[in-house]
Amino acid sequence: MPETILKIENLCKNYGNLKALTNLNVTVERGMVYGILGPNGSGKTTTLGILVGVLNASSGTFSWFGNGQEDANRRRIGTLLETPNFYPYLNAIQNLKIVSKIKRIENADDEIEKVLRSVSLYSRRTSEFRSFSLGMKQRLAIGSALLGGPDVLVLDEPTNGLDPQGIAEIRALIIAIAKEGKTIIVASHQLDEIEKICKRVLILKDGITLKESAIDELTDKKRQIAISAVDLKGLEELVLQIKGAKIAKSTHLELLVEVPESFSAAAMNQYCFENGVVLNSLKEIKKSLEDQFLEIVN
């Protein structure tokens, strides 16, 4: 049975009359990359702030490693909650030495070399922080969180403000760290990135849980097939005779048909042909996390 790393039960946070978080319940297992997804103001950062001890919950409980909320838990958690904040005139090694002293890390020089290599910054180890690109600054911040060999990484919007290359670099880094067996909790409003790196996802809006499930359950729940023919009206009447089928979208060029998962694109082509309709086009559309997210939030 998988080991539970984090257990959250009925967690709430109020700021006066504002309910920033309402009855949150989450279980994160060892080795999981867990995504917290939602628009700005949804409660993502509030949740992470409570979990790492920056904020106090109004009610509810959470437990790390089956050890409650003990201060000792924090030594096993690496955190990146805000924009990287290092001394601009110091180089990467010097900045990480300061972090190592704060964390009371033994053999700091060896640790620093290890994390700089893991985040692909060893070749720039003597460069001043102010000379780094945004992506490099973010990688250094993740390297800082990795100092001390934590079991868990908690990352808040790690790709925020980055260009496509920087986003791809951070994504690859998170995937590589996860392959080492670390548990990662990442909050983001970048739907595409959550879909590519996470195993499970929590969707929040106004502090309320709208959905909590495996990524696969969100993206593969239904099959959508785009089809067209000379007689679109006749085609629509035909496909609606398929058990469980419905028209998700209709234009003057094609139909987007939602069918049961067991009904493949090949089966659709055969069904239409056997009923006297030759399709002009046919393609299967995988429903993205963005499609599901917008449906759920709206």
8 A C-beta contact, residue 28 and residue 5: yes
pLDDT at 152 over 60: yes
Same-domain check for residues 187 and 86: yes
In angstroms, the CA 36 to CA 202 distance is 5
Q: What is the pLDDT of residue 189?
A: 83
Q: Residue 164: pLDDT band by 50, 70, 90 thresholds?
A: confident
Distances (CA, A) of 31 to 92, 115, 228: 28, 19, 44
CA atoms within 13 A on the CB side of 286: 9
Same-domain check for residues 109 and 237: no
Same-domain check for residues 151 and 136: yes
Q: What is the pLDDT of residue 297?
A: 65
CATH number at residue 288: 3.30.70.980
8 A C-beta contact, residue 201 and residue 37: yes
In angstroms, the CA 291 to CA 192 distance is 11
Same-domain check for residues 171 and 187: yes
Same-domain check for residues 276 and 162: no
What would the pLDDT profile of 255-264 be if each residue is shown by its tens digit?
999 888 788 8
Same-domain check for residues 191 and 214: yes
Q: Calculate mean pLDDT across residues 265-281.
A: 93
In angstroms, the CA 92 to CA 89 distance is 10
Q: Calculate mean pLDDT across residues 268-275.
A: 94
The helix (run of H) or strand (run of E) holding residue 185 is strand 183-188
Q: Residue 287: pLDDT band by 50, 70, 90 thresholds?
A: low
In angstroms, the CA 152 to CA 84 distance is 19
Please choose, from the candidates 185, 160, 151, the residue with its C-alpha nearest in 3D space to the C-alpha of residue 67: 151
pLDDT at 212 over 80: yes
Beta bridge partners of 9: 61
Above pLDDT 70, what percent of the chain?
94
Q: Calculate mean pLDDT across residues 51-58.
A: 93
What would the pLDDT profile of 64-119 be if each residue is shown by its tens digit?
999 999 888 988 999 998 777 899 999 999 999 999 999 999 889 999 999 999 99
276 φψ region: left (φ > 0), alpha (ψ -120 to 50), beta (else): left
The helix (run of H) or strand (run of E) holding residue 171 is helix 164-179
Q: Using the 3D structure, point to which of 218, 244, 272 is the last residue of a domain.
A: 218
Same-domain check for residues 142 and 213: yes
How many independent structural domains does the chain possess?
2
- Structural Rg of the chain based on CA atoms: 24
**Domain span at 79:** 4-218
Q: Calculate mean pLDDT across residues 254-283.
A: 91
Q: Calculate mean pLDDT across residues 176-188.
A: 94
8 A C-beta contact, residue 194 and residue 292: no
Same-domain check for residues 104 and 128: yes
Same-domain check for residues 171 and 242: no
CA 285 to chain CA centroid, Å, is 22
Q: What is the pLDDT of residue 295?
A: 67
Q: Calculate mean pLDDT across residues 221-246.
A: 89
pLDDT at 221 over 60: no
pLDDT at 139 over 80: yes
Q: Using the 3D structure, point to which of 183, 218, 253 is the last residue of a domain.
A: 218
